[in-house]
Structure 1
Amino acid sequence: MILSNFQREFYPFEEASIDEMVLGFKGCGLFKQFNATKPKKYHIKTFGLCDAATGYVLNILTYFGGDTFYKPECEPDGSRAVKIFEPLLTPLGTGHKIFVDRFYTTRVLIDYLLQKKQYHTGTVNLN
């Protein structure tokens, strides 16, 4: 309900970004994680689609474990990035520029976004 309200109230500008986000959480839950390098050591891992100009959160995908949040039917070759992006990009139309970090810069994802008439900008490792 919250996400549908977020999406109804604001349509993003041309540029958007997708990245991992952590929400501090110390309660009980199967999807709670611990990572000593994060500011919030105990957290819920999520992926978020945000408007790049305002930081407005348009869509969130919660991580529930290796296979529980991905959509296996969306990409037969098992591309993890496509399986994350497909549900996150549902509120967007065409012609958006999507900014990502190195974990989501793959040829399979770039081809997928081009089919959806979206553009990709990401960092690349030299190795």
Structure 2
Amino acid sequence: MLMGLPNFPTIESYWISDPLYYHELFQKLPIKYHRFALLLRCWHFQDNSISGINHLSKINPLLKLIRKNMNNIYAPGDTIVIDETMVPFRDRLKFPQYNPSKAHKYGIKLYKLCTLHGYAWDVKIYDGQGQRLAELDLLGSTVIELVKPFLDDGRLVITDNYYTSIDLAKYLYDRKTNLLGTIRKNRIDLPRDLINYKLRKGKVVFKQNDYITFIKWKDQ
């Protein structure tokens, strides 16, 4: 965890006494570099005989512990946010992602449930696998997996156009949960007259459905 504070080029750099890499946190480490490197190389969180369930089987015990502690530290309010982030990683892996729009284009994708203040209450690692609900696509199912502890409680879920869909709005509405988010024009079931509506700058148009209110502002 301390290594996440200073950004040194290699792990060995944290043990180097060169003034270029001096940091007071690492001057009295209770373990030598070679010992640390050996432990890191052999570090396991799961019995080798228990494998093949999914790509994350080896680290699932650690992930469960981390997520449990994240949940216990802070309680979200009435509004929760779904987002994703990319952890930079270019080594051998079965489920790397490439996203040119991210600051780190190659790496491991994390789906996150966050509070309005930016606290990550829960995370889900995208490993190329996942269970899909019958009513939703894979992204919608991921959203439901993250917000499941807060359904049927009148909360508001905020998503961007990567997740937002009519089916997700319907599902959340049936579970007494509201959805707020932008939506892409090519999503199915969008009102055709709303998609084709031409707006003057600053003009707003509302379209009310049984359970959905569409707001089109400017040309979004």
State TM-score, norm by structure 1. Answer: 0.82
Looking at secondary structure, tell me which structure has more helix per residue.
2
Shift in CA distance, 104/23, structure 1 to aligned 2, threshold 3 Å? same
Show CA shifts across 1:68-108 (max 9, x none): 12x23xx2245233311121113325221111111222121
Contact 1:46 1:62 in 2 (8 A): yes
Q: Which residue matches 1:122? A: 181
Query: Residue 120 of structure 1 aligns to a residue in which SS?
Result: strand
Q: Which runs of 5+ in 1 are unaligned?
A: none
Considering only CA atoms, is the larger Rg found in Structure 1 or Structure 2? 2
Q: In the alignment, which of 23, 28, 33 is matched to residue 97 of structure 2?
A: 33
User: Which region of structure 1 is more displaced relative to structure 2, 102-111 or 85-94?
Assistant: 85-94
State TM-score, norm by structure 2. Answer: 0.50
Shift in CA distance, 9/18, structure 1 to aligned 2, threshold 3 Å? same
Q: In the alignment, which of 77, 84, 87 is matched to residue 145 of structure 2?
A: 87
Contact 1:7 1:91 in 2 (8 A): no
Q: Which runs of 5+ in 2 are unaligned?
A: 1-64, 186-194, 196-220
Show CA shifts across 1:43-62 (max 9, x none): 1012111001x111011111
Question: For residues 54-93 of structure 1, what are the structure 2 equivalents within 5 Å?
Answer: 54-65=117-128, 68-69=129-130, 71-72=131-132, 75-92=133-150
Are 1:10 and 2:10 matched, yes or no?
Answer: no
In structure 2, C-alpha distance between the alignment counterparts of 1:101 and 1:90, rounded to whole Å: 18
* Larger RCO, structures 1/2 (Cα 8 Å, 6+ apart): 1
In structure 1, C-alpha distance between the alignment counterparts of 2:107 and 2:119, rounded to whole Å: 21
Query: Residue 11 of structure 1 aligns to a residue in which SS?
Result: coil
Looking at secondary structure, tell me which structure has more strand per residue.
1
In structure 2, C-alpha distance between the alignment counterparts of 1:104 and 1:35, rounded to whole Å: 16
User: Which region of structure 1 is more displaced relative to structure 2, 28-37 or 101-110?
Assistant: 28-37
Residue type of the partner of 1:119?
N
Contact 1:97 1:121 in 2 (8 A): yes
Show CA shifts across 1:14-59 (max 9, x none): 111102211112332112223344211321012111001x111011
